[in-house]
Homo-oligomer: A and B are copies of this chain.
Amino acid sequence: MLNEIKDKINYSAPKDVKELDVINIFELEKTAKTVLPKDGYDFIYGGAGDEYTLRNNIEAWNKKGILQRVLADTENPDMSTTVLNQKLQLPVIVAPIAAHGIAHDSKEAGTAKGVAEYGGSIMSISAYSSSNFDDIENGLQGNNRWFQIYMSDDIEVNKNVIDEAKAVGASAIILTADTNVDGRRERNLRNKFVYPFGMPIVARYLKDGADDTSSETVYSRKKLKLSVEDVEFLANYSDLPIFVKGVQTPNDALKAIGAGASGIWVSNHGGRQLDGAPGSFETLEDISNAIQGQVPIVFDSGVRRGEHIFKAIASGADIVAIGRPVLYALANGGWKGVKSVFEYFEKDLKTVMQLAGTQTIEDIKNAQLFDYNK
């Protein structure tokens, strides 16, 4: 049945598969711009409103400085960590991103293969993926995956999707709570961007018949009115750990935990939702202080360098998730590009840890940053 979900319009995504010499993510972004259709690049790159928050996600890193620590007895730092009993060789996972097909012809399957070939991480599979579970599994080759859900207003759809995600091995559910309506992304409006792909994971469970299983239909059935009850439902129904994603305030973090969340995902959706907001990193420390380690924190929105990973962890995150860097890598080099981008983050974080005198992720957590706000 999945094969019946057709992509709706002609969209010509890149097809190259090659290793990348990643100098930094910003250069990857620039080359991605040259290989992607303009509206596709703008969809990936863009943020909401005047993109103040998008820019702020990057600039916020400079609100705190790392300090070199010397004579620290450090050598060959250990970047491995554990989150919800899942071992990671690098505290970096793939954020849930819809429609990898916009970046590359291999879609989510390409990303999955890149993750697997790198040696493994956690792949967050978006409910709005442009690949179906089977294709993603082909790439992922047994690696860890979490499943991200946009709640449907049809509870049966939610149940069916969760059932299938569990069946294909998802070990956690990520509830995206910050996107019950899309932010006003002006680039897309200017481009009159039309989402080029179907959403096979969700679409197959819509009851309306094949003709209505387009992305517009899926999207139109999204549930707007999210509350703690949705967290409770997901936790009870799935019996999996639930992350609430899009948390920007201590109160919401505590509310989510109170409702049964097993993890907090600090994110402003990459600046794509609510413009005029602080940089995501600016909200992290207060949230971490509020929840005091009750549950793990995943951080995203603005991670582009090893330095950023370090600062996020030193400010309370357990791991970080990367979104745009994955898509830029996928656009530039398919699965080999995704592998390269993980290798880049590994190499850069390792250097930062060595220079900062931190042998382990635990050491980063204890590192003191130079705080420009104090």
B62/A277 in contact, CB under 8 A: no
Q: Which of A7-15, A160-168, A174-182 sits within the interface?
A: A174-182
Q: Is A30 an interface residue (CB 8 A)?
A: no
Q: Is A134 an interface residue (CB 8 A)?
A: no
Q: Is A33 an interface residue (CB 8 A)?
A: no
The smallest beta-carbon distance between A126 and chain B, in angstroms, is: 18
Which residues of B lie under 8 Å from residue A311 when comparing CB positions?
276
Q: Is A370 an interface residue (CB 8 A)?
A: yes
A276/B61 in contact, CB under 8 A: yes
Of B252, B259, B355, the contact of A273 (CB 8 Å cutoff): B355
Which residues of B lie under 8 Å from residue A354 when comparing CB positions?
180-181, 224
B278/A370 in contact, CB under 8 A: yes
Q: Which of A69-77, A89-97, A114-122, A210-218 sits within the interface?
A: A69-77
Interface residues of A in 181-220 (CB under 8 A from B): 181-184, 186, 189-190
Interface residues of A in 59-101 (CB under 8 A from B): 61-62, 65-76
Of B61, B62, B251, B274, the contact of A356 (CB 8 Å cutoff): B274
Which residues of B lie under 8 Å from residue A356 when comparing CB positions?
274
Which residues of B lie under 8 Å from residue A310 when comparing CB positions?
276
Q: Which of A103-111, A137-145, A225-233, A322-330 sits within the interface?
A: A225-233
Tell me the complex Cα distance, A90–B170, Å: 44
A66/B305 in contact, CB under 8 A: no
Q: Which of A38-46, A241-249, A291-299, A335-343 sits within the interface?
A: A241-249
Which residues of B lie under 8 Å from residue A70 when comparing CB positions?
177-178, 226, 244, 246-248, 252, 256
The smallest beta-carbon distance between A285 and chain B, in angstroms, is: 13
Q: Is A50 an interface residue (CB 8 A)?
A: yes
A282/B74 in contact, CB under 8 A: no
A74/B273 in contact, CB under 8 A: no
Q: Is A307 an interface residue (CB 8 A)?
A: yes
Which residues of B lie under 8 Å from residue A248 when comparing CB positions?
67-70
Q: Is A158 an interface residue (CB 8 A)?
A: no
Tell me the complex Cα distance, A69–B251, Å: 9
Q: Chain A 269-292, CB within 8 Å of chain B: the 1/0 string?
A: 000011111100011000000000
The smallest beta-carbon distance between A274 and chain B, in angstroms, is: 4
Q: Chain A 33-55, CB within 8 Å of chain B: the 1/0 string?
A: 00000000000000001101100
Which residues of B lie under 8 Å from residue A66 when comparing CB positions?
274, 276-277
Q: Is A26 an interface residue (CB 8 A)?
A: yes
Which residues of B lie under 8 Å from residue A182 when comparing CB positions?
351
B189/A71 in contact, CB under 8 A: no
A355/B183 in contact, CB under 8 A: yes
Of B26, B71, B186, the contact of A227 (CB 8 Å cutoff): B71
A71/B244 in contact, CB under 8 A: yes
A355/B178 in contact, CB under 8 A: yes
Q: Chain A 235-267, CB within 8 Å of chain B: the 1/0 string?
A: 000000000101111011001100100000000
Top 4 A-B pairs, shortest CB-CB distance: A70-B177, A75-B225, A276-B307, A65-B278
Seed contacts A23-B186, A68-B248, A72-B227; 5 additional CB < 8 Å A-B pairs: A67-B248, A69-B252, A70-B247, A73-B225, A180-B354
